[in-house]
Copies of this chain bind each other. A is one copy, B any other.
C-alpha cells in the first residue's frame, strides 16, 4: 500500500474512533475536574505489568506527547501535556494455558497528566481514576489525589512515574 493511501486509511480510522470516544463525554469527571482523555483507546502501548499484591494486569499507554518523549528519551521530566494511562484488569487464568494470567473483568482505568503549574501540589501530575465498565469516578472529593501522590513518591527520582517504557524495535 502506498504511503498516501495508508495515511488516508488511518485518518479514516482515527476519525471514526474519535466519534466513538465522544460517547464518553457522558462519563462523570473526576472530583478534581479531570475528564477521561479523548481517544485513549487509540494510544500506543508504553508497557505492561502484572501485580501480585492486588492480582491485576495492566497495559500502560501514552498520548502523542508522552510517546514522543519516550522516543526522544525526554522523560526526566516528562514534558507538559504528557498523559500516561493505565488500563487495569483483574487477574484471570487462561482456560487453555495453565501458566498464563490473562485479563478478567476490568478493574479500572487511570491517568496521570503532566502540568507542573496546575498540579504543583501533587508533584506536577494530575491524577484521575474511573472504576469498572461504568467508569465511576474514584474519590469522594479532590483530595483523593493525595493518595495517588503518596504512592508515587516512591519513584520521585523518576519524575513520579513507575513505568519504564518497554523496549521496542
Contact = CB atoms under 8 A, between A and B. Distances in A.
Interface stretch (A3-11, A111-119, A139-147): A3-11
Contact of A96 (B41, B97, B102, B155): B155
A24 B38 CA distance: 30
A169 B110 CA distance: 13
A50 B100 CA distance: 6
Chain A facing B: main interface SS: mixed
Contacts of A71: 20
A142 to B, nearest CB: 23
A89 interface: yes
24 contacts: A6-B18, A10-B14, A10-B42, A11-B14, A14-B14, A27-B169, A41-B168, A47-B103, A48-B57, A48-B59, A48-B103, A49-B101, A49-B103, A51-B97, A51-B100, A52-B101, A53-B99, A53-B100, A87-B166, A94-B162, A97-B162, A100-B162, A102-B163, A106-B168
